[in-house]
Chains A and B, each alone.
Chain A
Amino acid sequence: MRKKLLCLLLVVAVLSALTACTTGNGRKKAANSTTARSLEEIKSSKKIRIGVFSDKNPFGYVDENGEVQGYDVYFAKRIAKDMLGSEDAVEFVYVEAANRVEYLQSGKVDIILANFTVTKERAEKVDFALPYMKVALGIVSPDNALITDVSQLNGKTLIVVKGTTAETYFGENHPEIKLLKFDEYQEAYDALSDGRGDAFSTDNTEVLAWALQNKGFTVGVESVGSLDSIAPAVQKGNAELLDWINDEIAALEPEQFFHKAFEETLAPVYGDSVSADSLVVEGGKIE
């Protein structure tokens, strides 16, 4: 009884709050914004809304002048240019890892370009286009005891961060390796520096960038585990926009657009330690 009342009251409260503000904030198409905008609607509004990260250097971040930059953003601007004729015809919405799906489901953005890794669970909620990047796990270890192959880890201690793909992968496939788990990246790196573990594993993009900044450590294994792809995502069922993006990605292949994006945004960070081909995917084709 009390529970029912609680529910009822909550609904009433939220509803009244909503009606109070929708009247004041009536945007163009308040009636059915649950479904994402169609290609036509985006074109006639002359602005595409793309969700990007604002604190994932070098994929999506805000520079010291308040301008959003990065690999994902580079692609977003190209989409705006090819769809609407101008690089500036894009409204960037800053998203967090935890709310990317919500943004698409509620139709508040047209496309998510926020380092979105394709997984089965996510594919049930959103539609992924062709991939434009791939990531695997990397293993970083001290130069004086460099691990260059997973078999060398037998009986040794590997540091991982909880909740990452590294934790799942090594836990399931390599029971012979002892795992030392931490909640945060900083703790994990500290543990590696202190020698509490023999190596550390997480996304290769992350360890490669870290090894560059920390002398005495090298990424001995650049790619292990299943290859994950990173792709743009649209609201489930927005086939028109999805097809447009897929055509766009295919059309960009001849000019090697994503290699150019790599040179512009990722190369300054990774330097020579990463080859473009180990991260970039052209035309949506992963070998």
Chain B
Amino acid sequence: MQDLGIQVLFEGINFERLLKGLWISLKLGLISMLFSVILGLLLGCVMAGKNRIIKFLCRVYLEIVRIMPQLVLLFLVYFGAAKHFGADISGETAAVIVFTFWGTAEMGDLVRSALISIPKHQYESGYSLGLSKLQLYVNIIMPQTFQRLLPSAVNLLTRMIKTTSLVVLIGVVEVVKVGKQIIDASRYDNPKAALWIYGTIFLLYFAVCYPISKLSSALERRLKV
């Protein structure tokens, strides 16, 4: 039994701690995604517009997000804000800000590409039916955009949940960090703990992300009809 290493999961409240860590990851991912979807939809519509200056600015924003590592952004918001503006932001708030900043850009680009992928005749048919611009978007364009958007948006959400493992560097203890703490605490009496802990974390991530992608494919199927 001593050699198995699996008992590390059941010592004290270790497993409960892992689950709590998972909840932090999930919570950060979901809240950020919620904001990203709302802001990203707006941004996408703006980006699909014709104003060249606005388009250029959006492009710049998108490039910044893509070029800057999320870690740098996290440090900027968490430590930089405190150092230069005296703003003491909690680690979790900083994480939500950064992930929203990132998610909005990605989401905006997804919305933009989904919008412009709608064939022109869809717009023209709508107008020829006498629909107003609002009616056109609500009844014809948005439903189709949504359907095209869903797979990539879900992909973004699962990526976001997994990227939350970075927030440990701004002091937020999420599931991977809890795992490292457990492995380290038992490194003298249970050197094989690492395999079990990382294996469990793998399963936990899977348990969270798999239902999300299942849900999206179910939604997709329903929307197709």
- Chain A residues in the interface with B (C-beta under 8 A): 2, 5-6, 9-10, 13-14, 17-18, 20-22, 24-25, 27, 29-34, 54-58, 61-66, 93-96, 98-99, 102-103, 105-108, 209, 212-213, 269
CB-CB contacts below 8 Å: B70-94 with A: 75-90, 93
- Residues A62 and B171 in contact in the complex (CB < 8 Å), given A21-B93, A25-B89, A34-B83: no
The 5 closest A-B pairs by CB, nearest first: A64-B12, A106-B82, A55-B184, A64-B11, A65-B12
Interface locus among B26-34, B146-154, B173-181, B207-215 = B173-181
Total number of A-B contacts with CB less than 8 angstroms?
A: 126
A21 touches B89 (CB 8 A): yes
CA distance A147 to B187 in the complex (A): 26
B82 touches A61 (CB 8 A): no
A54 touches B181 (CB 8 A): yes
CA distance A208 to B181 in the complex (A): 21
Residues of B within 8 A of A209 (CB): 188
- Whether, in the assembled complex, B116 has its beta carbon less than 8 Å from a beta carbon of chain A, the answer is no
A108 touches B180 (CB 8 A): no
Pick the contact of A56: B12, B97, B184, B186 (CB < 8 A): B184
Interface locus among B44-52, B57-65, B106-114, B198-206 = B57-65
B185 touches A61 (CB 8 A): yes
A105 touches B13 (CB 8 A): no
CA distance A237 to B15 in the complex (A): 43
B173 touches A64 (CB 8 A): no
> Whole-angstrom distance from the CB of B8 to the nearest CB of chain A?
8
**Can you offer 23 A-B residue contacts whose CB atoms are under 8 A?**
A2-B60, A13-B101, A14-B77, A14-B80, A14-B81, A21-B97, A22-B81, A25-B88, A30-B86, A33-B86, A55-B177, A58-B188, A61-B181, A61-B185, A63-B12, A64-B14, A99-B79, A99-B169, A99-B170, A102-B75, A105-B79, A106-B80, A108-B88
Nearest B residue (CB) for A20? B97
CB-CB contacts below 8 Å: B1-34 with A: 11-14, 17
A5 touches B60 (CB 8 A): yes
Pick the contact of A102: B64, B79, B173, B183 (CB < 8 A): B79
Pick the contact of B17: A20, A33, A66 (CB < 8 A): A66
Per the CB 8 Å criterion, the residue count for chain B at the interface is: 45
- Whether, in the assembled complex, B182 has its beta carbon less than 8 Å from a beta carbon of chain A, the answer is yes
- Chain B residues in the interface with A (C-beta under 8 A): 11-14, 17, 57, 60-61, 63-64, 75-90, 93, 97, 101, 168-171, 173, 177, 180-188, 191
Residues of B within 8 A of A24 (CB): 93
Residues of A within 8 A of B184 (CB): 55-57, 61
Nearest A residue (CB) for B183? A55
> Whole-angstrom distance from the CB of B206 to the nearest CB of chain A?
24
Residues of A within 8 A of B78 (CB): 106
Residues of A within 8 A of B90 (CB): 25
CA distance A30 to B57 in the complex (A): 32
**Can you add 15 more A-B contacts, CB < 8 Å, to A25-B89, A64-B182, A106-B82?**
A5-B60, A6-B60, A13-B61, A20-B97, A21-B87, A22-B81, A27-B88, A64-B14, A93-B171, A94-B173, A98-B169, A103-B171, A105-B79, A106-B78, A107-B83
> Whole-angstrom distance from the CB of B124 to the nearest CB of chain A?
36
> Whole-angstrom distance from the CB of B4 to the nearest CB of chain A?
16
CA distance A99 to B82 in the complex (A): 14
CA distance A62 to B177 in the complex (A): 11
CA distance A108 to B84 in the complex (A): 13
B79 touches A25 (CB 8 A): no
A9 touches B61 (CB 8 A): yes
Residues of B within 8 A of A18 (CB): 77, 81, 85, 87, 89, 97
CA distance A64 to B187 in the complex (A): 12
A17 touches B57 (CB 8 A): no
- Residues A106 and B191 in contact in the complex (CB < 8 Å), given A54-B177, A64-B12: no
B93 touches A9 (CB 8 A): no
B57 touches A106 (CB 8 A): no
B88 touches A9 (CB 8 A): no
Pick the contact of A17: B77, B82, B177 (CB < 8 A): B77
Nearest B residue (CB) for A109? B171
Residues of B within 8 A of A5 (CB): 60
Nearest A residue (CB) for B82? A106
